[in-house]
Amino acid sequence: MIKVNVLLGLQWGDEGKGKGVDVLTPDYDVVARFQGGPNAGHSLEFNGMKHVLHLIPSGIFHEQCINIIGNGVVIDPVIFKKEIEGLRALGVKPEKNLKISRKAHMILPFHPLLDAVSETLKGEQKIGSTLKGIAPAYRDKAGRDGLRVGDIELNDFKARYLAARKQYDSVLSSVSDTYNLTEREEIFFKALDTLREFEFIDSEYEVNELIDNNKRILAEGAQGTLLDIDFGSYPFVTSSNTICGGACTGLGIAPHRLGEVIGIAKAYCTRVGAGPFPTELFDDMGQKLREYGREFGSTTGRPRRCGWLDLVALKYVVMLNGVTQIILTKADVMDTFDEVKVCTKYIVNGKETERIPFDITTKIEPVYKTIPGWKTSLSDVRKKEDMPKAFMEYVKFIEDFVKVPVSFVSVGPDRAETVKM
């Protein structure tokens, strides 16, 4: 039996999942997104073009590949419409190879408003949400008040929408004008027509049939494990399970049908939004990583916080996901550095530990191993044999520490800038 492979982020998102999926897609018949929503921004670059996808799976540029938006995703029809228009402007015909799960929940016009209200009320404690309505949409899903894509096929959809909105009447009455709710609703209902142009599927049946027919499926994650609702630095997390198990619940795949777990990690760390970040750099080095790595959010444009690679955290996420191979990205950003550091231990309350403490307010002092820089440009390297020795030693150190092989090294944003290890 051919198994489903999963590709997911091992840090706080933006590890290069879009590029990773795009590079691997020629080996797959299907790419299926399993969680998250338009909070994601997955960048793809090829033929001199850069494109950012939010809801649509990153296999969309490969015509022969079926792309599925799974039940675990939350879809904003308005953002979906914009994305479709963007793809069509590039000559892509997404109606041919994109299918949507009827069971995927929708982000309703008032969800982003509720996100904004919640963040405002939190003040200094705000999460730094992308304000796309992710938490309110997943909250309504868990609260059994959500509306799903399949609901728009029903005659009483409008009544269902009004019923879903009713529970928030009191909070919305004070902010609906400020946020133009009525206008947002009009745009939303119009955008449903674009959604209707696509094939809605009972994706759990379809995905399992594809597996039975020996089709090769890549499940595409969004965000990263350190933003997982259960295992991230709660409450500074997103609202879905970003770990490998999310592929089971977000697509309807039994665990024994999963195969390779391809984890993608940057050679350093970034985080956008609030929350603990033990290896964060506030000095020149942090500034260099942000500048050389162009670390500004693909969805919100916010500057990303930057710091050294955290191997304590990487080991934790390898454990949670059962990662079988790692794609290491953006090492080229550190090409000019005399030395690079990796965190191998934390000091917590005066004691060394290799575990992430429960209490996120705990002060963590990272212990670093310093590794000599490779001081050569990686960007033109295309073969493992041509990789500088110092860089190979750096990779070996990571592999030995987390006990997982690095299968690819990405040396630039373009599809072609990839080295098989």
CA–CA dist 36, 237 (Å, integer): 12
Task: Tell me the closest approach of the beta carbon of residue 317 to ligand IMO, in angstroms.
Answer: 14
Least spacing, CB of residue 35 vs ligand IMO, in Å: 10
> What is the pairing mode between strands 217-220 and 269-271?
unpaired
Rg of the chain's alpha carbons, rounded to an integer?
21
Count residues near ligand GDP (CB under 6 A).
21
Q: Which residues contact 368 (CB under 8 A, 6 or more apart)?
A: 308, 341, 342, 343, 344
Binding flag, residue 273, ligand GDP (CB under 6 A): no
Instruction: Based on the shown chain and the rule CB under 6 A, indicate whether residue 17 belongs to the binding site for ligand GDP.
Output: yes
Q: DSSP readout, 319-379?
A: HHHT--EEEEE-GGGGTT-SEEEEEEEEEETTEEESS--S-TTS-EEEEEEEEE---S--T
- Given the complex with ligand IMO, which of 206 and 228 has the nearer CB atom? 228
Q: Whole-number minimum distance, CB 18 to ligand IMO, in Å?
A: 8
Q: Which of 14, 22, 76, 140 binds ligand GDP (CB under 6 A)?
A: 14
366 binding partner (options Mg ion, ligand IMO, ligand GDP, none; Cβ < 5 to 8 Å by kind): none
Both tokens of 82, joined, read: 């914009």
Tokens of 71: 């039940």
Q: Quick one: which of 18, 77, 252, 263 contacts ligand GDP (CB under 6 A)?
A: 18
Distance CA(174)–CA(336), nearest Å, equals 53
**Other CB atoms within 10 Å distance of the CB of residue 39:** 28
The whole-angstrom separation of Cα 364 and Cα 349 is: 8
263 touching ligand GDP, by CB under 6 A = no
Q: What residue 342 binds from Mg ion, ligand GDP, ligand IMO, none (CB within 5 to 8 A, per partner kind)?
A: none
Stretch that binds ligand GDP, among 22-30, 89-97, 130-138, 407-415 (CB under 6 A): 407-415
Q: Which residues pair with 271 in a beta bridge?
A: 305
Does 13 engage in binding with ligand GDP (CB under 6 A)? yes
- Residue 332 contact partner, candidates ligand GDP, Mg ion, ligand IMO, none, CB within 5 to 8 A by sort of partner: ligand GDP
Residue 146 vs 263, nearer CB to Mg ion: 263
* Strand-pair partners of 27: none
Q: Which residues bind Mg ion (CB under 5 A)?
A: 14, 41, 298
Residues 329-348 vs ligand GDP: string with x where CB under 6 A?
xx-xx---------------
Q: Which two tokens stand for residue 132?
A: 């796309």
Among 6, 22, 42, 312, binds ligand GDP (CB under 6 A): 42
3-state secondary structure of 89: helix
- The catalytic residues are 14, 42
Binding mask 276-305 toward ligand GDP (x if CB under 6 A, else -) reads ----------------------x-------
Choosing among ligand IMO, Mg ion, ligand GDP, none, which partner's interface includes residue 238 (Cβ < 5 to 8 Å by kind)?
ligand IMO
Handedness of CA 224, 113, 138, 76 (dihedral sign): negative
Chain contacts with ligand IMO (rule: CB under 6 A): 9, 12-14, 36, 39-42, 127-130, 132, 134-135, 222-224, 227, 238, 272-273, 298
Helices marked H in 111-231: 111-122, 134-142, 157-166, 169-175, 181-196, 203-212
- 116 or 348: CB nearest ligand IMO: 116
